[in-house]
Each structure stands twice: as C-alpha cells, then as structure tokens.
Copies of this chain bind each other. A is one copy, B any other.
Amino acid sequence: MTGDAMTSDAMTSDAMASDAMRRGPAAILLRQLDNAGYRLTEPRRAILTIIAGGHERFTSAELLDSVQREASSIGRATVFRTLDLLTAVGILQRVHLDDAGCHSYVVCGRAHHHHIVCANCNRVMDFEQGEVEALLARLGERHGFKVEGHHLEVYGRCQDCQAATHN
C-alpha cells in the first residue's frame, strides 16, 4: 500500500546473487534457515536477499511486489509459504499496523522484543523490554490478572526525522 517500499534502491539480480547474498545480511538469515533444517532453495535465497536488502518492516503486498519485480519467476504461493516459514523459524515477526492493511513483518533474529517505528522514515528500532514487562506484570496484578503475553507497537519520530521536514 505504501507502494515504493523496498524497491527504491534495489540492486540488479546479478549483484543480488553474487555480492549481497554471500556476505550481506541475508547470509545470516540463510544460516538460520539452514540451521533449522530447511532447504536453501533458490526462491528462498532470493526472497531472503530481498528482505535483507529492504526496509526493516514490510507487508506481504510490498514483498510480493518486490519479488515480482526482481525475481518474477517466483510464485505468490511461494512468497506466502516463505513468509510463514520465516515467521515460524523466528527470522520474521508478524506485527499489526492499522494503517498498513493488516499483517506486517519485521526482520527480527532475536527472541522477543519491542519495536518502535518511525512514522516518517519507517525506520524500526528495537528497545529493551524488561521495563515494559515489569510494568505490565505490575498492572496486571493490580487487577488480579496473571500476565502471560503481550503485543506492543510504538509509533513515533526518530531523531533524524524530528529535525527534517515533516511529511
């Protein structure tokens, strides 16, 4: 829906296959997939490379779009299946944003943490969650609730975008 997401400074398929994939951030993700016992297929490599080279947060539609553009031989179904797989393995995390249709994904190697998304440049920062969890546990207890999980997303404006012209 945002349209230009992840496609703005994409590399060519050649550069993609050689450069980024061997030592770019995609390599780490590929290793994760491998370690989890899944096959490193051509479509998965391509999708991971696209994800690693794009915005930290994206929707399935945006990814679908990028895949169509950069590796058009990959089918829709494979993209969805790969998204599910990557989420299951923990490479991606599903998040919900009211303004972005429904599901969005963020690249996320670590176990569980929170994101703060810049409303202007889409930059995503992680932040420590210890304090959040402690507070929630405390608030829950006050109502007799035993807190078992939570889902938190924070929107704001990063340092750069506070200085820059707002759009």
Contacts and interface: CB of A to CB of B under 8 A. Distances in A.
A127 B151 contact: no
A150 B147 contact: no
A157 B153 contact: no
A96 interface: yes
Interface stretch (A19-27, A42-50, A73-81, A134-142): A134-142
Nearest to A127: B139
Interface residues of A, number: 37
Contacts of A152: 150-153
Q: Which 5 A-B pairs have the closest CB atoms?
A: A144-B159, A96-B96, A147-B156, A150-B154, A149-B155
Interface of A: 94, 96-98, 102-103, 116, 118-119, 125, 127-128, 131-132, 135-136, 139-140, 142-159, 162
